[in-house]
Amino acid sequence: MISSTYYEHLYAAHIVDKYMKYVNMTITIPKELKERMRKVENVNWSEVARKAFEEELRRIERSKAVEEIDKLRRESKVKWNGAREVRKWRDSR
């Protein structure tokens, strides 16, 4: 008899597959790193890599957003000073 946990896992996998499409990707790592990874049990290295890729992409996207904001600020004809604006509102209380 198959356990209910097995069916729950299949259902969860179906839901994930339905909404997220995965592709395979090959990366090259040093042989010694691969040997160290092989010695560690119960680690999903694909998940570790996915999280690292996501984190790096978020960092890059934030950096690009900051650059775009800085560019807009430089090109703006309105000169706005955040510290001066905060001081103005604090003094008006």
Query: Each residue of 38-92: pLDDT tens digit?
Result: 999 999 999 999 999 999 999 999 999 999 999 988 888 887 788 988 998 999 8
Asked if residue 5 has pLDDT above 60, the reply is: yes
Whole-model pTM over 0.75: no
User: What share of the chain has pLDDT > 70, as a percent?
Assistant: 78
pLDDT given at position 16: 57
Asked if residue 9 has pLDDT above 80, the reply is: no
Count the domains in the chain.
1
Q: What is the DSSP letter of 42?
A: S
Q: Provide the H-helix boundaries in the chain.
A: 4-19, 31-39, 45-75, 82-91
Q: Which domain holds residue 13?
A: 4-91
Separation CA 45–CA 36 (nearest Å): 12
